[in-house]
Structure 1
Amino acid sequence: MTPQDVKLIGQRLPKEMIFPYFADRESAWVLAACMPETARVGALRKTPFGKLLDRPALRALVARCGGVLHRDDVLAVAYADQTMGRVTLGPVATAGVEAVFGETWHDFCLSFDIWGDRRRWYDQTTRQNANLVVQMGFPSDHAALMGRYLQEGARKDFEWDGHPIRTSGRPTLAWARLDIDLEAREALVEEVQTDWLRNAGDEVAALRDNAPRSRALAQMERYESGLVDRYGKIWSRAMLLAALMLLRDGLGVERVWMHQPTPGKLLKRIHGVAPPRSLYTSLPRSFCFAPTRVRPGFLRHLPKKLTKTLPKDAPLFWQMDFDQRDGRIDTV
């Protein structure tokens, strides 16, 4: 994307928006995005999306659907914040929505920015151009957690403005960088990352070394423990879901790629420590991305170093196609 492309997309987006999230919301959303209007549960189980049926957000639906699942019922769960109390739901959808309303909800805040400059080698963009950044701000309850354990002004200890964070408003818990081709309706998720959680852990480690009996260490340990308990297991899934919902629901993207660990490091010219491997293995796998050697159309040429380094059959990317309604899943 050129900076002009990013600015044009940015004009279509709000300055910020609340993103409600409950644990496993992504399972309902992914299944709804990729299933036909009606499908037999037995047939769905034989597809790459079958593993979603046993996850928490979908258990109540599957238990009540009588062996036949309707996409509208799955959508009701995926968008439970919009459906409950606003539309009339059938018994299956009602069971699913009521089940997820029993979970803990988080009111993350999304904002948007631009990242990338052809002159900067450290931007880690595949095309050495611009990315759209989706910033995910902490939920509103985080302010109380900070106030309980940290001194005023502590925010600066967990942020680095050399990364695509928001410097005002709610602190940035995580962000995703996206390279998008709206004409081809495809996108590449360049990065999913958090500084805040990592920096909090580093702060605890430093205090244990330098001030092991201090009140500052005790307070930081309590704060970091609260962070991990509330957001440690969900931040990456919430961040990727927010990015995918923006791409598909907001911008009409039909195909999305993510980097594989080794190809991604080479393509983005990452030197030194690589990002956490799980963000480019277990995270896309949990969203039912499929490994592939197919590449985005806007990446016409891959570096020779990449093709020489990897085995000939090694996947280069993860890929997800939305709206897979071509008859491969038995419909009713």
Structure 2
Amino acid sequence: MDIKTAQEVLACLPVGKTPFYYYKDRYAVFLLSQVIGRQCAIADLKKSAYSGLLHKPLVKDVLAQSGDGQLRQEHLSLAWGNRIDPFLLTLDIWDDKDRSWDQVSRNGYSLVLQLNFSNKHDEFFKRLAEPSDYHQFNCSMHPVLKRQQRDFFRETLAWARIDFDFNTNEALIEELQTDWLRRAKRLLGEIQSGKTRFYNLGANAKPEKLRCYLEAVLADYGDIWDEALLTAALQFIRQELGIAKIYLHTPETGGAIKRIKYTQPPRSLYSSLPRKFCFRQTDKAPEFLQQHRTFRKLEKRLGGTQWHVINLGGNYADITKTATEKPGRPVTLVA
């Protein structure tokens, strides 16, 4: 997107603390809340592309509250996990004028939705790791929250980079990434093998304390960070930007379109994760990309592209498992 659009969005949103709470499988509740309208028949959902969500324990508990075979918004609003992790969301703009470094699908800027740790985590991290201000868990050259950037500071667990176009009502999630957990896993392996490098962690870092922290953070966030990040991104795009049609790269197309020269991102983030979230695959690229001659030439050279897409909103956008790009039938809203 252009810088003016990015800055206007940034100016319209709160700059203070935006809390975000996540519990395991919250994504399933969120997705259902976006596609059922005010209510819909559970039998219809079982035939839809969202049928897999109904098997989540959290959703099963919700369905048990329905005595007439209808799933309602008020049922979903009561869903709550046993363990709730608090995060802080912040928004920034990303562009370094180098398309290969920026890893964007078209020239321009990205919005960055940052999923930041809570103060509880940060205090735990400081106490056990005793880090310097610039440590090895986050790369300052990546789109993480920077010190002195706001009135408060939190360490960034992960981020999502987003491009969008209000004219076509489409958004593309360019990237989902965590430096923190990837580097924590690597450092734990070094400690276990006795080949530890405590660069930028301060002179007082102790292996036993650091190992305690690393084991705790990987256990607490390792299996939810991607769910939490993609849920936060979808919620932001749908509720703040008002965009319903959302794309995500596939591994092969993403690597080619974004010109990723070196290490490819984990395949699961662009394959099994979108499947879990009920995205469907399509060979039709976002319309706002098709408007660019450079993209059309690249797509032709590649022999076509593949994408994940989901259409959120108060209708059955994907009511059947063999859904096409055409909108599905509308939900019958019942008072």
The one-character-per-residue Cα deviations of 1:141-200 (angstroms, maximum 9, x if unpaired) are: 312431442114276121111100002301000000000112322100000100011111
In structure 2, relative to structure 1, the CA distance for the partners of 1:251 and 1:329 (3 Å cut) is closer
Q: Equivalent residue of 1:20, what SS?
A: strand
Q: Matches of 1:40 and 1:328 in 2, distance apart?
A: 13
Q: Once the two structures are aligned, what percentage of the paired residues are identical? A: 31
Which residue does 1:173 correspond to in 2? 157
Q: Are 1:10 and 1:112, in contact at CA under 8 Å, matched by a contact in 2?
A: yes
Unaligned runs of 5+ in 2: 148-152, 198-204, 317-327
**Pair 1:280-2:270 in alignment:** yes
Partner of 1:182 in structure 2? 166
Q: Quick check: 1:117–1:129 contact (8 Å CA) kept in 2?
A: no
Superposition RMSD in Å: 2.4
Number of the residue aligned with 2:22? 21
Question: Does structure 2 retain, via aligned residues, the 8 Å contact 1:258–1:318?
Answer: yes
* 3-state DSSP of counterpart to 1:199: helix
In the alignment, which residue of structure 2 is the partner of 1:70? 71
Mapped partners of 1:253, 1:117: distance in 2 = 26
Taking structure 1 as reference, are residues 54 and 329 closer, same or farther at Cα in structure 2, changes over 3 Å only? farther
- On the 8 A contact 2:281/2:306 being kept in 1, the answer is yes
Q: How many residues align?
A: 306
Q: Which residue of 1 aligns with 2:55?
A: 54
SS in 2 for 1:11: helix
Residue 3 of structure 2 is matched in structure 1 by 3
TM score, norm. by length of structure 1: 0.85
Please show how residues 9-158 of structure 1 align to structure 2 within 5 Å: 9-15=9-15, 16-77=17-78, 97=79, 100-101=80-81, 103-153=82-132, 156-158=135-137
Distance 1:231 1:155 in 2: 22
Question: Does the CA contact (< 8 Å) of 1:61 and 1:73 recur in 2?
Answer: no
Task: Say which is worse superposed, 147-156 or 117-126, in terms of deviation.
Answer: 147-156
Cα distance, 1:306–1:115 mapped onto 2, change above 3 Å: same
Q: In structure 2, how many angstroms separate the alpha carbons of the residues matched to 1:154 and 1:8?
A: 31
8 Å CA contact retained: 2:65, 2:75: no
Cα distance 1:43–1:225, how it changes in 2: closer, same or farther (>3 A)? same
What is the CA deviation profile of residues 253-272 of structure 1, one whole-angstrom value per residue up to 9, with x for unaligned ones? 01000000000000100012
Q: What SS does structure 2 have at the residue aligned with 1:298? A: helix
The one-letter code sitting in structure 2 at the alignment partner of 1:52 is L
Give TM-score scaled by structure 2 length: 0.84
Equivalent residues in 2 for 1:230-309, closer than 5 Å: 230-300=220-290, 301=293, 302=295, 304=297, 306-309=299-302
Aligned counterpart, 1:92? none
* Partner amino acid, structure 1, of 2:221: Y
